């Protein structure tokens, strides 16, 4: 099972999620893919992901987390024993998203909400200092204009890692990484 966790202010309609869904459909694996629409509150997002995980044996689940979804995937991989592919993961959202406090709008749904200190506290509570690098495949591009890719490279040192020069936060090389993602998840 491959569960895609989208990033901050994103949704299942994101380019990467749609491309992954299409690829899984073409390979006859649609039943092995899920992408829940994550609520903006960290606790609510985690409850939704946990409910999806409860339907599967964690040993047979790979999380595919992009940006903030990578942060969530990290907590779940460590606490539930599954593996995770992380795309330009947020390492410190409780710090990095502080400058975004105030009115927000989901980029795909247009849903407005207020980003508050409660969000930051929720992410702080999910922060893990150490991780088991054996659980992860890390996909990074050095041109990320949103997050410092070096923070992720340091945090997940020892993990399988692909670092591409250039690119951006969206991971421009995502389409060519799909076979690697599927192989890591045991689906390719």
* CATH number reported for the structural domain that contains residue 67 in this entry: 3.40.50.1820
> What is the rounded CA–CA span in Å between residue 38 and residue 23?
22
Contacts of 130 (CB under 8 A, 6+ apart): none
Q: Is 123 strand, coil or helix?
A: helix
CB count within 10 Å of CB 181 equals 21
**Are 97 and 119 spatial neighbours (Cβ–Cβ below 8 Å)?**
yes
Query: What is the predicted pLDDT for the residue at 22?
Result: 98
Range of the domain at 63: 2-184
Residue 114 token pair: 């207020």
Residue 113 token pair: 């909400």
User: Domain count of the chain?
Assistant: 1
Per-residue pLDDT of the chain (188 residues; tens, 9 = 90+): 999 999 999 999 999 999 999 999 999 999 999 999 999 999 999 999 999 999 998 889 999 999 999 999 999 999 999 999 999 999 999 999 999 999 999 988 899 999 999 999 999 999 999 999 999 999 999 999 999 999 999 999 999 999 999 999 999 999 999 999 999 999 97
Query: What is the predicted pLDDT for the residue at 173?
Result: 96
**Burial status of residue 136 (CB atoms within 10 A of its CB: 0-12, 13-18, 19 or more):** buried
Query: What is the predicted pLDDT for the residue at 188?
Result: 79
Question: 84 - beta bridge partners?
Answer: 63, 136
The overall pTM is greater than 0.75 = yes
Contacts of 110 (CB under 8 A, 6+ apart): none
DSSP 8-state class, residue 28: T
């Amino acid at each position: 099972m491959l569960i895609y966790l989208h990033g901050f202010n994103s949704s299942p309609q994101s380019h990467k999620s749609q491309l992954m869904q299409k690829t899984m459909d073409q390979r006859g694996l649609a039943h092995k893919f899920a992408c829940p629409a994550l609520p903006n509150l960290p606790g609510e997002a985690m409850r939704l992901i946990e409910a999806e995980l409860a339907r599967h044996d964690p040993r047979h689940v790979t999380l595919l987390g992009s940006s903030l979804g990578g942060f969530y995937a990290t907590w779940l991989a460590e606490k539930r024993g599954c593996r995770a592919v992380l795309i330009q993961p947020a390492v410190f959202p409780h710090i990095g998203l502080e400058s975004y406090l105030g009115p927000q709008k989901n980029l795909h749904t247009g849903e407005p909400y207020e980003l508050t200190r409660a969000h930051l506290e929720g992410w702080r509570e999910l922060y893990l200092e150490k991780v088991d690098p054996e659980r992860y495949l890390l996909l990074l591009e050095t041109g990320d204009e949103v997050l410092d890719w070096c923070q992720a490279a340091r945090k997940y040192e020892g993990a399988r890692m692909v670092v591409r020069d250039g690119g951006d936060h969206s991971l421009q090389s995502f389409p060519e990484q799909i076979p690697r993602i599927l192989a890591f998840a045991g689906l390719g």
